[in-house]
Every structure is written in structure tokens, then in C-alpha cells.
Structure 1
Amino acid sequence: MVDTQAVGLRSRWAPIAAYSLVGAATQLVWLNFAGVTTVAAGRYDVSETAIGWLAQVFPLLYVVLAIPAGLLLDRWFRASLLTGAFLTAAGALIRLGDTYPWLLAGQILASIAQPLVLNAVTGITGRYLTVKHRPTGIATGTASIFAGMMIAFVLSSIFASSNQIPTVLIISAVFSVAAAVALLAALRRSPVAVPVASRPDRNALHLAWSDPLIRRLCVLALFPFGVFVALTTFTQALLEPAGVPAGTASTVLLVTVIAGVLGSAAIPILVARRHAQSALLVLSLTATSLACAALALTPSTLTAFIAITTIGLLLLPALPVVLELVERRTGQAESTAAGLIWLSGNLGGLVAATAVGLLVDHPTAAFTFLAAIALIAVPGARALRHSTT
């Protein structure tokens, strides 16, 4: 737990800005090949499935490493976060070898780093921002994650040919190295908040999991993460039978992420001020369910733009809202608790994406399944109103 109530303390935004760059870098490295899967398979003479593993290794390793990463951050926050930043940069640099083995090695290294970075969003705000600024800091940090996705999609659309892939790798490496160096410089100054207990060890996991609210949030996180990961993975394939071109589907995803960045930067701040976390989660899950139902019943380009963009605008801000609750409740175990949320979300994403993959040739059934997932979570979100005040 941290104390920033002393008179005269001021928030330091430079570490938050630098952390946001590193957070964006993790997503950029993760999704470099999402929009050029077929082209990359041809360039490196491997299957599309092999290229898919360059992205899939991230959520798989996150499920394994989320809790250990959280424990490391709660005990050695600065060293662990910087390790994550520079491992991300190292992974991006290794990929410049421009062969599939080098790409896979770089992706594995960066995927090991990702939990050390993303789990730290609550910890860095708790250490460098005063209490009143922490919701804004968490919103900024999580918005940067979606911004990194957006940058990856934009680069894929601009540099879409086989001979341009090395350019994307160079841009990503430069960005990742610059972000890591910026974070190193920003963290040289001491935090404004000193942890009350700086070495929680394994007790951090007990402290986090013993809180009933954290357990409820972990269960709840399975559902929105699952819907979003499944949609981003299979949107193009699910919309193709309705006559939506692949290029249009990519544009829909880009617009969705842009809406998510804007929503994540603004909505959680308003929600925190009004203590409306439960209401926002109910609204986002209900809207997501209705949007998926619309895609199941009347799939078209117009429906896709309206429905999926609505999901991005309302569902993605749920992440910073949940993480703000985590930071407020867990104190010294904040990074471990954040790790539990990320673990649960990535697990939900893997399960939902696998299920939708089995239904990919039946879009109506797939979208109906996603609508049901979101709807099932609504009662749990409504129940949070008794625990978030």
C-alpha cells in the first residue's frame, strides 16, 4: 500500500508517459504480423499457422507468467518493470535477423516481457501519482495499450507487401528501444509514494486473492476479454460470408481500436468520479451482447461498422475501470492483483477464440455465442455495485 496524502506531494507524469510508450511497444511487437499473415507466410516459407504462433505465444505465456510477474513487480518494482521494457526491446531487435527462427525467438522474448510491463500499470500510478490522479493515470496507461494495437494495424496497412516487412520490423525495434530508454530515464527519480510494505513476497498473492472483489473481477474479466480477443482474431473470416471484403474488415478493426483508445482515455475518469463502475460494466456488456446479436441476425458492412465500433468504444474502457478498482483495493499487492486480472482475461480470450475458431464456418452461431458470453456476465457486473463504493 502507498501513501501520497502528505502535504506538498505532486504527481509525476513523466514516468506515466514513458510507461505508456513501453505498453504501446509490447502491443506493437505482438501484432506486427496480424494484418499480413499470408504475406509473411510466403516471405518466410512457412504456413499461416506458423505465422499465427508469432502472436499466439503472447497470451499463452501470459497465462503462465502473469502471477510470477506480479510477485516480482510487488517486490522489485523498478527493476522488474525495466527488465520488461528492455526485454521487449531486445525481442524486437532479435527479429531483425529476418528469418522465421529469429522472429519466433524475438516474439518469445517479448512475450516473456509483456506481463512485467502490463501488470505494472497499477503499480506505476500508485507510486508516481497522487490519489486523485490515479484513475487518469490508469486510463492513460491502458489507452496506450490499445494505441499500440492501432499502430500495428496502421503499419500493416501501409507496409503490406512482402519486401516491406523488414521496414515494419525496423520501425518497431526503434520504437521499442526508444521507449525502454525513456522509461529508464523517467524512473531515475524516486517515487512520490513509498510502499508501506515493500517486500510482500508470496503474501502478495494471498492478499490479492483473499479479497472477494478481486475474485469476482477475475471471473468477470473472462467474458469481455473473451469476446474482444475472439472478435479481433476472427472478424474478417466471420464477415466474409456476408460479402464484407477483407480490407473493409481490417478497417472496421482499426476504427474499433481507435474508438477504444478514445473511450479508454476519457470514460474511466468520468466513471471513477461518479463511482459508476458497475453501471459502466453493465452498459458495456449489454451493448456488446446486442451488437453481437445484430451481427448474427443482419451481418453487413454497415452493421459491422456500427456494432464492432460500439464494442470498442464501450467494452475496451472496462479494462482501466477494473484496474482502477484493483489499485484502490489491493495496495501492496497491486501488481499481483493486476496479474490475476490479466491472467483471467487472457485465459478467457484463449477459450473464446478457440470456440469461435471451431464455429468460424458458421458465423451466425459464432456471433450468437459471443452475444451469450457478454450477456452471461451482466448479472456479475450488476452485483459489483455493492462492492465498489
Structure 2
Amino acid sequence: MVAAFAMVGAATQVLWLSFAPVTTVAAEHYGVSESAIGWLTNVFPLFYVVLAIPAGLLLDRWFTQALAAGAVLTAVGGLLRLIGDDFVWVLTGQIVIAIAQPLVLNAITGITGRYLAEEDRPAGIAIGSASTFAGMIIAFLLGAVFTDAEQLGALIAIGAALSGIAAVVLVVALRTPFAFSHRRPPAGLAALRIAWNDDFIRRLCALVFFPFGTFVALTTFAQALLEPAGVDSGTASIILLLNVLAGVVGCAVLPIVAARHGWELKMLVLGAITAFLGCLALAVAPGAIVAYGSLTLIGLLLLPALPIVLAMTERWSGEAEGTAAGLIWMSGNLGGLVVAATVGLLVDHPGSAFLVAGIAALLAVPLVRGIVPYFSSDTEVETAEPTR
């Protein structure tokens, strides 16, 4: 089940970031601006903000059916992008995939809670999160290979094939019975009330807003921001590839180590400070060498913030885990929407754009202090019943 979920999770990211490594080429091919191509990526956080809560409620009540629907819709959106070689069809496909994405990604905690023993769930969340970043790697690899306008069709076709195969595998795997029982929350909006009335969940939502926003902004506009410094699209794709590859390694390893030693809060602070310093270096001295070093470190230390926060959410949220995860993802994507949109407005001023992205990450540091009281003396999240 974890492997089947990982395939669909990776596919959503391949489709999400199809055009990020080739922003300039795609803008020329479709006859639109670079900012318009950026919205092929930005519709994902936009729809996540709107649909995260409904998707979480559906997963809490009808987990199997909702996750299967998300996988199928992802494949349908991938196919829609193949219908016509114009911006309208590509945008239509992206919107359908963006609608499906919350049904898939909100299910990370649900998969681990239903199919893994409690002691294995942090590792399962780390693997599930790493798989989504692995999908980003595939997207940037494809962007590094298919760099010309006439190759955009092949780029889109590969994404459609990957999403179709992944959907079939997951739908078949979902016939597997749950290994662990899961109490469904009351009908209606009760799950939302349970999750939102929890002060700890609200604080995690505020915390995840900023680092997720920085990451989305960098993956969306790094290629365009580095181009004035002489970094071509092929080199930018490789830089972004290393950024996410480092993130996959970080997500697969660091959250598990942090949970074992009680370093979750230290890891969150380290990632935010690293992102700020890396963006500051790019603002002051943009170029390929600085980008290689800065974005690789940002990927390694900032991206693990997501599985760390999701693991905290899974341990704390109980029966409303899907809705709680939806709140976390919604806040992160809202951060992505706000920060990426702000950076996009500054795309013609790379230094200012990188500085804004770095400051956004740094704002997470004081918010970490807000969740310190919820940690016991051994720095593990309290397992007592949260305040309703």
C-alpha cells in the first residue's frame, strides 16, 4: 500500500512541475508570458487552499473511495493535457490534476495509520513524503532532457503515462483490507471542528506556511530568476534536480533520526535558517555555483520540515487525521500561493525575489517556539487527548 501510494504521489508532482524547468521555452511555445506559465504550477496551491478541507473530510469518512477518485482524476488530467497543443488545454489538465491532488496527498497519514504499526508510522510518512519529492526529481529530469519547444509534447505524454499506470496500481492495491482499525469521525463538519479546535494543529498550520511557501516559490521561479545571471534552462533544471534529490534524501532520513533523538524542533529551525542564508547568497551573488550549493542545502534541510510536521499531526490528531492533514497541507499551499505569487511579481528583479523567499523561510523560526509547550521533557509530542 505504501508503494502504491508512493507511485501516485510521485505522479502528482511530475504533472505539477512539468513546466517549471522549461518556463521560458513553454512561454515562447504557447505564446504567453512567463508569469502565465508560472500559473500552470500555481493553480495547484490555489486549489489546495480551497479543497484541502473537503478532501480531508472525504478521506476521514470514505478513505478508500476518496483516494481512488484522486488517483483516477490525476490520470484524467494528465490525458487532457494531450488533447491540444495550446495553453488552454494544458491549463485545463492542470486544473483537473490540482483538484485531485488534495485527495492524494492528504492521505499520507491515513495510509500509515491504516496499514502500519504505530512505531513504523513516522518512517511511513517519511517515505510517503520522500516519494512526492521523488516525483519532483522525475519532473526536473524530464525538463533537463526535453528542453526544446518541439519536445514539449513528449514531456506531456510521459507524464500522462506515468499517472495512468500509477492510478491503476493504486486502485487495485486499495482492495487490500485495512491492517488496523480506524474509528470514523462523526458525519458532517465534526471532523473539521475537532481538528481546528485543537490549538496544537493550528500552531502547526501557522508554522508550515512559511517554509512550504519558500520551497514552492523557488521551484516555480528559480529558472527564470537565474537566467539573467547566465544560467540556462538546462543548467537550472539540473540545479533544481539536485535540490529535490537532496530533499528526498533528507525526507527519507532526517525525520526518522529527529523522531528517534527528539530533534524535531531543532531540525525545523535549522531548515528555516539554512533557507534564509541560501536565498541571501543567491540575492547577493547569483550564479550557477552559488545556486548549486545553496539550493542543494535548502533541499536537504528545509524539505524534511513537511514529514516532521505530518508525523506530529498523525500522532496528535486521532480520528480526524485526514482533516488535520488537510489543514496542514492547506496552510502550506496557501504559503506557496502567497510567497510564489509575490516572488513572481519580482521575477524581473531576481535579487529582491530571492530575498523575499529567504525572509519567508526565516519567519518560521519564532513560530517554532509556539509549539515547544506541547513537547514533553523527552521532546516527543504529547500523546494525551488534545483539547477539543
Matched pairs, number: 375
Equivalence for 1:165: 152
Choose 32-41 or 53-62, whichever is displaced more. 32-41
Q: Could you state the TM-score of these two structures normalised by the residue count of structure 2?
A: 0.91
Q: Residues 247 and 43 of structure 1: is their aligned pair in 2 closer, same or farther, counting only changes over 3 Å?
A: closer
- 2:283 counterpart of 1:296: yes
1:379 partnered with 2:366: yes
* Equivalent runs, 1:52-201 vs 2, <5 Å: 52-100=38-86, 101-197=88-184, 199-201=186-188
Structure 1 partner of 2:247: 260
Q: Is the 8 A contact 2:185 2:320 kept in 1?
A: no
Deviation at 1:178, TM superposition (A): 1.1
Post-superposition Cα deviations, 1:245-300, rounded to whole Å, max 9, x if no partner, equal 44322221111011001111111111112222111101111222222222233333
One-letter amino acid matched to 1:99: D
1:186 shift after superposition:
1.3
- CA gap of 1:227–1:44, structure 2 versus 1, over 3 A, is closer
Q: Is the 8 A contact 1:122 1:338 kept in 2?
A: yes
Amino acid at match of 2:264: Q
Task: For residue 202 of structure 1, report the CA deviation from its aligned partner.
Answer: 1.0
Name the CA shift for 1:33/1:297 in 2 (closer, same or farther; >3 Å): closer
1:81 Cα shift? 0.3
2:386 aligns with none
Listed one character per residue, the Cα deviations across residues 10-46 of structure 1 (whole Å, up to 9, x for unaligned) are xxxxx11000000011111112222233433444455
- 1:188 Cα deviation (Å)? 0.8
Please give the alpha-carbon distance, in whole angstroms, between the structure 1 residues aligned to 2:259 and 2:159. Answer: 34
Q: Take 1:298 and 1:44, find their aligned partners in 2: how far apart are those partners? A: 32
Gap change, CA 1:345 and 1:158, over 3 Å in 2: same
Looking at structure 1, the residues matched to 142 and 135 of structure 2 have their Cα atoms a distance apart, in angstroms, of 11
Indicate the residue corresponding to 1:334 in structure 2. Answer: 321
Q: Distance in 2 between matches of 1:144 and 1:96?
A: 25
Indicate whether 1:235 and 2:222 are aligned: yes
State the partner residue of 1:359.
346
For residues 104 and 234 of structure 1, what CA distance do their matches in structure 2 show?
18
**Counterpart residue type for residue 379 of structure 1:** P
For 1:375, the aligned partner's letter is: L
- Structure 1 residue runs without a partner (length 5+): 1-14
How far is the alpha carbon of 1:336 from its aligned partner? 0.7
State the one-letter code of the partner of 1:355.
Answer: T
Question: Residue 30 in 1 paired to residue 27 in 2?
Answer: no
Using the TM superposition, give the Cα deviation of residue 306 of structure 1 relative to its aligned residue in structure 2, in angstroms. Answer: 1.3
C-alpha offsets along residues 65-110 of structure 1, whole Å, 9 cap, x if unaligned?
Answer: 1111111111110000000000001111222213333322222211
User: For the residues of structure 1 that align with 2:223 and 2:206, how far apart are their CA atoms?
Assistant: 28
The verdict on how the C-alpha distance between 1:200 and 1:327 changes in structure 2, with shifts beyond 3 A counting, is farther
Residue by residue, what CA displacement relative to the aligned partner does 1:42-61 show, whole Å, maximum 9, x if unpaired? 44455544433322221111
Distance 1:266 1:52, change over 3 A: same
- 8 Å CA contact retained: 1:230, 1:352: yes
3-state DSSP of counterpart to 1:378: helix
Rounded Cα–Cα distance in structure 2 between residues aligned with 1:362 and 1:274: 42
Q: Structure 1 pair 44/299, CA: closer, same or farther in 2 (3 Å)?
A: closer
Q: Deviations over 1:190-221 (max 9, x none)?
A: 11111123555311111111111111111111
Residue type matched to 1:70 in 2?
G
Q: Which amino acid aligns with 1:361?
A: D
Superposed CA RMSD in Å reads 1.9
Q: TM-score, normalised by structure 1?
A: 0.91
Secondary structure of the residue aligned to 1:194 is coil
Specify whether residues 29 and 237 from structure 1 end up closer, same or farther in structure 2 by C-alpha distance, changes over 3 A only.
Answer: closer
Alignment-mate amino acid for residue 234 of structure 1? F
Secondary structure of 1:97's aligned partner: coil
Q: For 1:264 and 1:336, locate their aligned partners in 2 and report how far apart those are by CA, in whole Å.
A: 22
Contact 1:31 1:149 in 2 (8 A): yes
Query: 1:133, 1:172 → 2: CA distance?
Result: 31
Match of 2:212 in 1: 225
Distance 2:67 2:119 in 1: 23
CA contact (8 A) 1:21 1:179 kept: yes
Are the equivalent residues in 2 in contact too, given 1:33–1:156 (CA < 8 A)? Answer: yes
Task: Check whether the contact 2:20–2:221 (CA below 8 A) recurs between aligned residues.
Answer: no
Cα deviation per residue 1:335-364 (whole Å; 9 max; x = unaligned)? 111111111111111111222223333333
* Percentage identity across paired residues of the two chains: 57
In 1, Cα distance between the equivalents of 2:351 and 2:150? 37
Structure 2 spans left out of the alignment, 5+ residues: 381-388
